[in-house]
A and B are shown apart, each in its own frame.
Chain A
């Protein structure tokens, strides 16, 4: 398996794919901001937003299941919010025995926890959708057009270009280690400190290889006339459809926020 399978872009020609990356970036940001600004227990507004995500997913034809599966990534973090269930003062719903005492679950605690989950899940679905329908280079120039610092965007560009090369390299090193260290019962051999040192050496080797690779890349770029500036084609101007979709979705998000906060 090549690490390229990890790239979250899902090629397609749907209307969502064809929307201008700048508009998509802005709308995704606006969507997540709306979710963050909605007060707790606005289940109706959260529901409408979920509908918006599902509709866009259907339009984009990247697959409902695919988006849901990738969105599950953030769920382990919910553990960090679980304490809100007990720690928020309010009307007590249940008391559960815990470590010899009792913990009381409050109504406002449960509401807080569920609201955090709803906001989080809505946001991550939007982010998954953005990455699935926009090739990364398009996202890069979208960021550039939105006036992010040029050197930062250039570094992100190189990071993306070599990420899969180096991740493949790391994977090969892990595979080689597996092959060298036979462990019939599934445990690793040696002491933990020894295993850690071996892994540290692998990280060191990976660093040296990356560093030397960057030297070769720099030489090759110099040979091709690199002078420190990364030149890109100037971004095409926004089509009328981009304006209309941007204004429409932005307006709907504004209305949702207005409705939720009233």
Chain B
């Protein structure tokens, strides 16, 4: 089939039309509009007329780079989605714009991903992937200082996390739509993409290693464009945590998974699983248990936040002492 030459393996993250409820599709469009609008505004501020041809060609690069693959085992192959690479090389705002146009052209020209749900796909693959990927990258580079492993480890971690978190966002949307119960969709999507993410991470690492040797100025380009790396780490963290907080709410049919589990005879195991924290909760009224979960999530956020801030300030103080 001709189509398969452009996508060596189906990227399971392009949601087709019909799989999301109109409400979820609408929310996706709102998030996409806000994110892309912000990115347009910020990029206009940062760069002039130079940027449009550059971003157009580099969007075509992401498209073409998705064709590059390598065999893993048993007929499967690793390949690139590109969100983290785009954010690292171009900076987060230009990365969002680039990935948005890639997602749009994939949907319009190749019907890879739906038109009505394009907002959700842009949210997952452009906004969430770029923000989280860039946040992780900046965080690792901050910890590594000027050392080279920061670039490589940061690239790998950013690529892996961006793929997994985008997949989680996809699962949350499917859950809210009633297409697939969150208790099944979330572990399935996150599990599959935890593996896919390794391929993504390795290719991103390889690409960054080569570019940093051949044109070191280009790797530093995205850096200069967004000063205040720590702020980006917080943004990435916030996006990831928002998704974590949303996921327990994402099931209009919460008893579905429970029923499946009961039928299969492992209801006890299912109840111990982290994703059925609110077994008897009905949408959209918040039960006390749901509130408790969210409260727990907020406490978790604050702890992680505090740890990150502490680590960074410790690092800064040490650098100041060295200098």
Contacts and interface: CB of A to CB of B under 8 A. Distances in A.
Interface in B227-256: 253, 255-256
B191 to A, nearest CB: 13
A87 B260 contact: yes
Interface stretch (B136-144, B176-184, B301-309): B176-184
Contacts of B178: 84, 88, 112
B179 A81 contact: yes
B218 interface: yes
B316 interface: no
B163 interface: no
B46 interface: no
Given A155-B55, A159-B60, A195 B115 contact: no
B89 to A, nearest CB: 7
Interface string A148-170: 01011011111111110111011
B58 interface: yes
Given A5-B2, A7-B109, A101 B266 contact: yes
A121 B111 CA distance: 11
Contacts of A70: 3, 111
Which residue of A81, A87, A112, A192 has the most chain B CB atoms within 10 A of its CB atom?
A87
A161 B59 CA distance: 11
A74 B263 contact: no
Chain B interface category by residue count: 35 or more
B172 interface: no
Contact of B184 (A83, A130, A203): A83
A205 B64 contact: no
A198 B2 CA distance: 25
Contacts, number: 323
Given A32-B116, A124-B17, A204-B210, A152 B263 contact: no
Contacts of A199: 68-70, 78, 202-203, 206
Interface in A142-200: 149, 151-152, 154-163, 165-167, 169-171, 173-174, 187-188, 192-193, 195-200
A196 B196 CA distance: 12
B111 A73 contact: yes
Contacts of A103: 260, 263-264
A139 interface: yes
B60 A200 contact: no
Interface string B108-124: 11111011100000000
A8 B17 contact: no
Main secondary structure of the interface of B (DSSP, over half): helix
Nearest to B112: A73
A89 B265 CA distance: 17
Which residue of B40, B57, B80, B264 has the most chain A CB atoms within 10 A of its CB atom?
B57
B234 to A, nearest CB: 27
Contacts of A77: 12, 14-16, 19
A32 B113 CA distance: 13
Contacts of A32: 17, 114-116
Given A73-B3, A155-B101, A198 B253 contact: no
Contacts of A121: 18
Given A8-B110, A206-B61, A80 B70 contact: no
B160 interface: no
Interface string B194-227: 0000010011111111110011001000000000
B263 A205 contact: no
B115 A158 contact: no
Interface in A54-100: 70-71, 73-74, 76-77, 80-81, 83-84, 86-89, 95, 98-100
Contacts of A214: 53-54, 56-58
A227 B107 CA distance: 30
A172 to B, nearest CB: 11
Contacts of B14: 77
Contacts of B311: none
Interface in A202-216: 202-208, 210-211, 213-215
B72 to A, nearest CB: 6
A240 interface: no
A252 interface: no
B210 A206 contact: no
A120 B108 contact: no
9 contacts: A29-B115, A80-B180, A87-B257, A123-B16, A127-B115, A152-B100, A199-B70, A201-B207, A203-B68
Interface of B: 2-3, 5-6, 10, 12, 14-19, 21-22, 25, 36-37, 40, 43-44, 48-50, 52-61, 63-65, 67-73, 78, 80, 85, 89, 97-98, 100-102, 104-105, 107-112, 114-116, 174, 178-181, 184-185, 199, 202-211, 214-215, 218, 253, 255-257, 259-260, 263-266
Interface of A: 3, 5-8, 28-29, 32-33, 35-37, 70-71, 73-74, 76-77, 80-81, 83-84, 86-89, 95, 98-104, 112, 116-124, 127-128, 130-131, 136, 139, 149, 151-152, 154-163, 165-167, 169-171, 173-174, 187-188, 192-193, 195-208, 210-211, 213-215, 217-218, 221, 226-230
